[in-house]
Chain A
Amino acid sequence: MQLVGAKSSQRLNDIGEGSVTLLPVEPEDMWHANNLISAEDVIKAHAVRKVTTESKTGSTHSERVHTDLTIRVTSTFFDTAASSLHVTGTVIVENSFVNVGQYHTLDLELSRPFTIWKKNGWDSVATETLQESLKQDKEGTVAAVVMQEGIANICLITEYRTILKQRVESTIPKKRAASSDQNSGMRRFFDKTLTTLMRSIDFGTPRPLLLASPGFVAGDFKKYISEEGTRKADKTMMAMAKKATVVHSSSGHLHSLNEILKSPEVLATMKDMKFSKETRYMDELFARLRKDDGRAWYGVSTVVKAVNEGAVGRGGGVLMINNSLFRSLDLATRKKYVTLVDRVREDGGEARIVSSDHESGQRLDALGGIAAILTYPMLGLDDDEDEDEGDGQNGVIEEPDLII
């Protein structure tokens, strides 16, 4: 994303109540825009609107006009697969085509600048998001294939998100059938996976490729790529095979990415990438939770309590929060989370905003999107909660049937 217009010289710190004009240049910028734009904001952008005019005789005539519209946002919709952002709102500045109060949905486009005003000013999280989006030194994206016999998940790991591009499923005959069946089944599966991979991810510019699977599938697949490359004299494929890293994973499901991203092979090359850092943060948190020593908690109410107690502060206090929580359309909710982040920073703790579109973010999502590591143990944070929501199950005595 680029900052454009008269205020481009303005330093970010000076952004107060003002507006910024941004120019998205790559699909990832749309994701940033989605995080930046929230309800009640004012967006000015290029729009194509169908204008219908009625002549004196009653015949109608409609025309598509290109115009700039200024709207007050009511909702946004982000299409992950296509990386396109649609912003819906009411028009607040009249022009010759539209009246005030009419609804319009802006489709933000690449290479078309848009201007954003924040009604309630730029809070710390918004400023941080903006800064991140303007960062010039982009990390490269990594392609990954998480597979097991018969299943392959082809995905693209960018700095802020993991995009599942395609899922390949194929039936592979089991052992009973003749082994030639099995081999041809495997070849068919590899062939299908490779063509899908080539189609869904652009390998024109060399990019790292992770192949992960339990057992030998990934290794065999790498061999298959290089064999196919040699056979077809396809340089892209040969380069792909050369750049591919084979990693062990325990299953072929997408959530095995967590395991993959912390494997030594990946850490060696991609240690400083954001997704790899986030994975490590999550592992740290899970290790703490595992200990169950009262220093790690998750869930909104408990974390809020801990933060209010000042337990997430100087000396190891970490607040982990999913950025999806800030995307909340309810302004009050957003404010609540922003205050939480500010409070932790004030106390000297660390607030880590985790991208919800990575696998690590999915793990945090499972915990309610928010978790904290405290500086000192606090026990029984969840006790009150229990009393609050007594749902009458306490008294029920169950039949003593053992599971095992």
Chain B
Amino acid sequence: MSRHQAYRNYDYENDLDEFDGQEAYDDEEEELSPEDKAQMEAGTTQVRHALGPQASKVTTAQIQEALWHYFYDIDKSVAYLVTKHIASPKAAKSAPAQKNKGEVASGTCHESSKHFSFADFFSDMPWGNIPKHREGSFIAPLYPRGGLLGGAGTPGKPSKLQQLALARKKKAEEQKAGNMDQDVQGTATQLSQLSVAQDLGVNEAGKPLSITGPSSPDSTPSSKKPGLGTLLADRKRKVADLGQVEIPPVTKPSPEPSVTTPNEDPAPEPATPSAFAQTLFGSAPAAPKPLPKTSYQLPYMALTSSVSEAFSGPSPDDVVLSAQAKASNKKLASSSSKKTGGHDTKMDQASEGVKAMNFDDAPLPKSKNLNVLKEYENSNAKKSVSFVVVGHVDAGKSTLMGRLLLDLKVVDQRTIDKYRKEADSMGKSSFALAWVLDQRVEERSRGVTIDIATNRFETDATSFTILDAPGHRDFIPNMIAGASQADFAVLVVDASTGAFEAGLKGQTREHALLIRSMGVSRVIVAVNKLDTVGWSQERFDEISQQVSGFLVATNFQLKNVSFVPVSGLRGDNMVHRSKDSEADWYTGGTLIQELENSQPLARALDKPLRMTISEVYKTTQSPLSVAGRVDAGSLQMGDALLIQPSGEKAYVKSLEVDSEPVDWAVAGQSTVIHLTHIDPIHVRVGDIVCDLKKPIGCIDTFTIKALAFDVLMPMQVDVHRGRLHAAGQIVEMPAILDKVKGTVLKKKPKVVKPGNIARVVVKLSDKMPLEAGQRIVLRSNGETIAAGLLE
């Protein structure tokens, strides 16, 4: 707590009021009167006598102190000394030996305010039956140190203000005494009456202590202002005035174990609500009944005195802090460390914590701390496989998939009929099936797939994700994005006359190259539109031969390639066998059987998390949801993630796999992550979600070992990696490598010819999240010129 805060929280009004009522300030150092001295001596002897053998445990000063407080009442002093110093020597040790009256006063003030509970201020507030769970926890305000102002140094030396306060107290006492014609005996009698009253447990003694404002019998001028703060200070002062008079909690049962310990915190009396409070909370019941105390109890209130004493000294942290503050000559934190000890430290830490927080009041999502890999092993879910559908434009990819979904009853006939009607009105009735996947207005009006469409279906053993890729050459970046998420591919070939040949020159070949360079090894070739050539077996064989020819040339193994004659429009050999008698010659499996025969690729489950964002959108669940396929690793709810290249941290609020809410996701699953604690501006399509501890680096220059499909030379290229699409430049080509052995054949070639494998250095215009082992495709002027692995 800084000194400023101490000042701010200090109740000046109280002191100022006290000033107004007093004129003589300078006589506080007055010595004891001769009568007092005589009485003190007599008392001391009597006390010693009463204590008997235990008298050695207390000092004369302590006895005198006690006597002074009890106004020479021997019995009470003895009782006090026994409990305070003899019964608990620890407490005696901690109590400073005080001789000076002023010090006694200030010391007691200190004591009482330390254990003073602020929760009790409001204990009688009519909170209007607020449900328990909505009640806030009470944080005690910073209250001034008992040493008043300026008591930074030794506790024994009262500051000016302190002295003034003491002077006022003394004066008040003297006034009291004066009213009784300086009759000390009278005062003593009064006090003894008081103590008797207290012993009887009647509230008479407590009355003047209760914060009743102007009605207080011994009201000082200050009490004319019945502000809550003033009243509190007033009350505090009175407690101080009376020293350590034991005040049993009369109106409130206290949970504290021992009420007899004089050191114990006197429970504050419930006060009548102030005018302000009454305005705020309506008319309080005439006699406000204290609410159950548990409501606003501070956690350390219930501590026993010994435990609470553990915090009365400066905490180790505070010692260090104050030492540092002293060293750096800063006043900061020095005051906080001295007086209120652990109590204030807690508050300091809390306030620092508040500052450190970014004021995002949404709580962080809770993590269940699952062992995701184990969970995954235990969950015997269906194997989940995703495949990409590729082929030349207009080969019928979308229609084929639309038919598949219709036959598997993922889409109902009514929807198709509706599409057919709409398509008819646009003069494109044959596109009705494709509209299941082509949902964009543009795609429908132009009859061309533009972006990857994803859809799902399940068979008995497998859950499939369809990635329907566009065939048009302009949208190859989108197709690459799809292929990068696929385990295997369905290559659709148009069997109708002329179309196959056109496709072979066009995207059939390029797509085959691309899926191979994206790491796909299994291909199902769907020879589509075979009904247009009368299910001719010759045509099928011819196409099979040509296609397997170039697939082998692009490094596919024939055992991973299968051919199925199908008709997407009519649905032959897809889910059901063809009913056409002309197609009887085909004895192989249907398309769906071939799909089920395909195995997913091995998943990198134990690698650090990587996921390429393929979609960013808003949902009702979260303002920022990202979708994509987890490339490697695993994640669960509550995880902290890093988004690259922006380098921003985010938390997983919730997860969806296959549109089902889940607690975790692993590599290979198409996942939707609902993120929190991140600004949507930092997240773009093509970014990578990665592990906070093992993040992916952002680089702008990288080397790939690439297979050239076209002539390579230093040139400008488009760099593709999944959804990521960036502009770059081939800076240099350090070497041409041997295809099989990987040895350097030629260094620094000027030109790399198609079919060669070369090491190529590419520089990007911006930094991108890339790491070794990723598959990169280089394109230029709308053609794929190279593909390879990042080194």
Contact = CB atoms under 8 A, between A and B. Distances in A.
B685 A171 contact: yes
Given A176-B627, A367-B714, A400-B741, A182 B440 contact: yes
Interface string A374-400: 000000001001100100011011111
Interface string B709-725: 00101111010000001
A286 B750 CA distance: 12
B739 A402 contact: yes
B598 interface: no
B751 A215 contact: no
Nearest to A173: B617
Interface in B724-745: 725-727, 729-731, 734-735, 737-744
A176 B742 contact: no
A316 to B, nearest CB: 19
A174 B454 CA distance: 11
A339 interface: no
A290 B707 contact: no
Nearest to A368: B714
Contacts of B617: 173-174, 176-177, 181
A403 B706 contact: yes
Contact of B555 (A174, A302, A367, A404): A404
Nearest to B738: A400
B474 A250 contact: yes
A80 interface: no
B782 interface: yes
Contacts of A229: none
B757 interface: yes
A393 B735 contact: yes
A327 interface: no
Nearest to A396: B744
Interface in B464-517: 472-475, 477, 516-517
Contacts of A393: 734-735, 744, 747
Contacts of B739: 402
Interface in A224-249: 248-249
Contacts of B616: 171, 173
A299 B731 CA distance: 12
A302 B452 CA distance: 47
Given A259-B781, A289-B713, A367-B713, A397 B743 contact: yes
B727 A255 contact: yes
Interface string A271-299: 00000000000000010011010000111
Mostly helix, strand, loop or mixed at chain A's interface? loop
Contacts of A389: 748
B674 interface: no
A171 B686 CA distance: 11
Interface residues of B, number: 65
B453 interface: yes
A290 B788 CA distance: 21
A111 B338 CA distance: 74
Interface string A298-320: 11001000000000000000000
Given A214-B475, A368-B714, A393-B744, A290 B751 contact: yes
Contacts of A299: 750
A400 B739 CA distance: 8
With most chain A CB atoms within 10 A of its CB, the pick from B718, B730, B779 is: B718
A19 interface: no
B718 A175 contact: no
Contacts of B145: none
Contacts of A298: 713-714, 750
A289 B750 contact: yes
A207 interface: no
Contacts of B714: 298, 366-368
Contacts of A248: 474
A250 B711 contact: no
B748 to A, nearest CB: 6
Contacts of B615: 173-174, 176-177
Nearest to B614: A174
Contact of A289 (B439, B517, B711, B747): B711
Interface in B235-258: none
Contacts, number: 144
B716 A255 contact: yes
Contacts of A182: 440-441
Interface string B362-386: 0000000000000000000000000
Interface residues of A, number: 52
B782 A403 contact: no
A84 interface: no
A88 interface: no
A98 B781 CA distance: 56
A177 B614 CA distance: 12
Given A175-B452, A363-B715, A404 B517 contact: yes
A396 B727 CA distance: 32
A2 interface: no
Nearest to B516: A404
Contacts of A398: 737, 741-744
A220 B453 CA distance: 22
A177 B627 CA distance: 11
Given A174-B614, A386-B747, A290 B711 contact: yes
Contacts of B555: 404
B442 A216 contact: yes
A171 B452 CA distance: 16
Contact of B748 (A150, A286, A382, A403): A382
B428 interface: no
B685 A251 contact: no
A137 interface: no
B450 interface: yes
Contacts of B751: 289-290, 292
Contacts of B729: 366
Contacts of B782: 214, 249-251, 259
Given A175-B452, A182-B440, A403-B706, A253 B747 contact: no
Contacts of A181: 617
Interface in B535-576: 554-555
Nearest to A251: B718
Contact of B789 (A216, A255, A386, A403): A403
Interface string B773-791: 0000001111100011100
B715 A254 contact: no
B101 interface: no
A292 B707 contact: no
A258 interface: yes
A189 to B, nearest CB: 13
A402 B788 CA distance: 10
B446 interface: yes
A217 to B, nearest CB: 9
Nearest to A390: B747
B472 A215 contact: yes
Interface string B680-696: 00001100000000000
A17 B711 CA distance: 48
A52 interface: no
A8 interface: no
A102 interface: no
Given A174-B685, A292-B751, A298-B713, 9 more contacts: A174-B452, A175-B453, A214-B782, A250-B473, A251-B725, A251-B727, A290-B751, A366-B731, A397-B742
Instruction: Report the 4 A-B pairs with minimum CB-CB distance, sorted nearest first.
Output: A250-B782, A214-B474, A253-B727, A255-B716
29 contacts: A173-B616, A173-B617, A174-B451, A174-B614, A174-B685, A176-B615, A179-B440, A179-B441, A182-B441, A215-B472, A249-B782, A250-B473, A250-B782, A251-B779, A251-B782, A255-B716, A290-B711, A292-B753, A297-B750, A298-B714, A298-B750, A302-B750, A366-B715, A393-B747, A396-B744, A397-B741, A398-B743, A402-B739, A403-B517
Interface of A: 150, 171, 173-177, 179, 181-183, 214-216, 220, 248-251, 253-255, 258-259, 286, 289-290, 292, 297-299, 302, 362-363, 366-368, 382, 385-386, 389, 393-394, 396-404
